[in-house]
Structure 1
């Protein structure tokens, strides 16, 4: 899909669109006060929008598709990564939105990633670094000031499809093609827990108010003859699955405690009151 949509989550009403991209939109992020929206696309551009009006505020052209993007905690600094394709290597770029020269496509920092491209990335606490997941299953923690790799970790054996942070940014969860989701300390990249499934995990999220994680995934029909379209929930403390939610008939690409998939629908699942009273016996 080349158009970014905004929806009212209570009743599913579409409020508007952000029109301008000519290729598939791979990533979307909103700043902390819902003033600006950032999108990255396969049309070799990253674009900044006014969240309320849908007006395009900035166009940042690249040599290859933009795979990941995000605002730091202040909303002043953005980062985005580009794919390794068409003879161009992967780059992780940083822009300060307060500097007009940088908005004219001159990043204050551009980090080449020549070995393995970035497939997912999130900001760390206080905007000091970006945690990037790579196609070889490795994590790198890049300084947002110097561009140096501060820390490394490699717990996955295949591509990292998604990284999401806990609400307090102290932990991250990763989703991988190796059929696992893993929980890490965001500062030290110390591995905490592993959640195993029978299919590649495309996305995983940490509950903001429960000791739970949720995972969604599956494989494309071009890769296998069967697909898994279920969302699994696991206890963060015990690595034990306690529930599944069904509904999608295509692979689930992203979850944020309400899932999205390639079957053309966004589904919002409301948990029963019993869910919030559930406790797993140790």
Structure 2
């Protein structure tokens, strides 16, 4: 099969989002003064970072707790707290080797913060509006951002050098990199408050697939009846999932022609 695919064929299963009980045990409870926007464990599973919103008179902070130190948990005091004075953090992930975190901001900036000193190691601004999502490649050498400025962008994880741009006509809420193909999937749509029944009929909520090197779209997958808030590839690259404002998670298994497809620029 040659040439860009106009419609990407998949099979899908839908799962409604319902609460449930499980064999989980709470290990710690950390209290904050405002809403928590992002969180994540380092790769050793010992340090957790999270960012809080600027609201109710409180400043935006990134906090770091070492879970091996019970005194930090008991006192609710992190070993490091970084203030974000200019633009609140809207997405964040741990960088390579857990030496830093990469944070996206409401104003479109990207910062790399040292996990040891809190120092800003690198600062860039390639987006013009809020960064909604950051996801790393499997080898952690690259990451992709999703933004309200209608684009997703590829960056080098160490230098934050901008590599590629994937353009759409609507806000991008989430983007993910395939673990074994040069593919990126984007999900988005309008702001939730702008969604109408007309929008659902004209297909504004498709997952869109781009070639990583050529920056060109080669396929779309329909299914959601509202903006797509999150996308993720399975670690084996044979499927992907999407979560939407419509209250459904859709799990898509790629058909055989997806693996045989060769992109021609």
Match of 1:196 among 164, 167, 170: 167
Distance 1:17 1:107, change over 3 A: farther
Residue in structure 2 matched with residue 232 of structure 1 by the alignment = 208
SS at match of 2:118: coil
Residue in structure 2 matched with residue 58 of structure 1 by the alignment = 28
Tell which structure's C-alpha radius of gyration is larger.
2
Residue in structure 2 matched with residue 92 of structure 1 by the alignment = 62
Match of 1:256 among 199, 215, 232: 232
SS at match of 1:57: coil
8 A contact 1:173–1:205 mirrored in 2:
yes
Instruction: Give distance in 2, aligned partners of 1:184 and 1:122.
Output: 13
Match of 1:162 among 96, 109, 133: 133
Deviates more, 1:227-236 or 1:158-167: 227-236
Distance 1:253 1:81, change over 3 A: same
Deviation of the 1:252 alpha carbon = 0.6
TM-score, normalising length from structure 2? 0.86
Deviation of the 1:97 alpha carbon = 0.8
Bigger share in helix: 2
Query: Which blocks of at least 5 consecutive residues in structure 2 are unaligned?
Result: 1-11, 234-240
Residue in structure 2 matched with residue 23 of structure 1 by the alignment = none
8 A contact 1:217–1:229 mirrored in 2:
yes
SS at match of 2:72: helix
Tell me: higher relative CO, structure 1 or 2? Use CA pairs within 8 A at least 6 residues apart: 2
Instruction: Give distance in 1, aligned partners of 2:14 and 2:55.
Output: 40
Query: Which blocks of at least 5 consecutive residues in structure 1 are unaligned?
Result: 1-8, 19-51
- Given the alignment of the two structures, is residue 277 of structure 1 paired with residue 265 of structure 2, yes or no? no
SS at match of 1:260: strand
